[in-house]
Amino acid sequence: MGDREGIWVEETDIRSYDVDISSRLTIESLLKIFQEAAWNHAEHLGLGFSHLGKRNQVWVLSRMMLAVESYPEWGQPVVARTWPRGCKSLLALRDFELLDMQGRKLAGAASGWMIIDLQSRKPQRAEPFIQPIRTFPERRAVGADPEKITPDGEGSRPVILKVKYSDLDLNNHVNNAAYARWILDGYPVDFHRRHRVRRFHLNFLAEVNADDSVAISTREVDPLHRIHTLRRQRDGVESCRAEVIWETDAMLPA
């Protein structure tokens, strides 16, 4: 694990609790691998949780766009690498790649992060924090920046979920990976047996905390393309929007 000319690199193994019924890495676990790499790099750069905490500030993930080419399996060693790409409006951009040990790309991601003042709960300009460090504006993991998802049309009748202890992170709100778990748990097991996620795009719009409940509705663009909207029940505020593009699992027997 370490910084290699501005690119953060760390190795890990895919463990039993990282995989699903097919013994392949879950989207939730992929998000956690990338989140951990980002936090480790930020700490190394002097911009991490411990540093911002002294200013009563914290990094919050605002947008994440994943593209999966191949899913690693239980026991497989992998390499995660990440790098800052600069700023766009209030967002600090950071890209990620997951590689096998031969250097083949398994997955990529583009993300946008905000710095939030914990007292005012308002976003702060990230540019003064990013300006002193090395960035790679032209090095793209998925070929695009994470953009806003357009909520085009009405969704299905919502399913209500209550926030549980295991959904919360050290910022005392629902962790970004938990949203992915909620959304993908809404698909039948048989659907998961026959399909896998190709792209997963998330917009995080408002905090969800302990004792909150969330209403999740789904709009089917086509059978393999769906838009999910998550709203806090207490005030109707949209907390997360997600776009999921699936593909038929090529590993299934003919």
What are the φ and ψ backbone dihedral angles of 24, each rounded to 5 degrees?
-115, 155
Check residue 254 and give its pLDDT.
41
What are the φ and ψ backbone dihedral angles of 237, each rounded to 5 degrees?
-75, 135
Spatial contact of 196 and 252, defined as CB atoms under 8 Å apart: no
Q: CA 17 to CA 47: how far, in whole Å? A: 30
Domains and their CATH numbers in the chain:
1-146 (3.10.129.10), 148-254 (3.10.129.10)
Q: 184 in helix, strand or coil? A: helix
pLDDT tens for 69-105 read: 999 999 999 999 999 999 999 999 999 999 999 999 9
Q: What is the band of 252 on the pLDDT scale with cuts at 50, 70, 90?
A: low
H or E, element range at 107:
strand 105-117
- Which pairs from 249-253 meet CB under 8 Å and 24+ separation? 249/22, 249/193, 249/194, 249/195, 249/196, 251/22, 252/193, 252/194
User: Phi-psi region for residue 160, left (φ > 0), alpha (ψ -120 to 50) or beta?
Assistant: beta
pLDDT tens for 27-70 read: 999 999 999 999 999 999 999 999 999 999 999 999 999 999 99
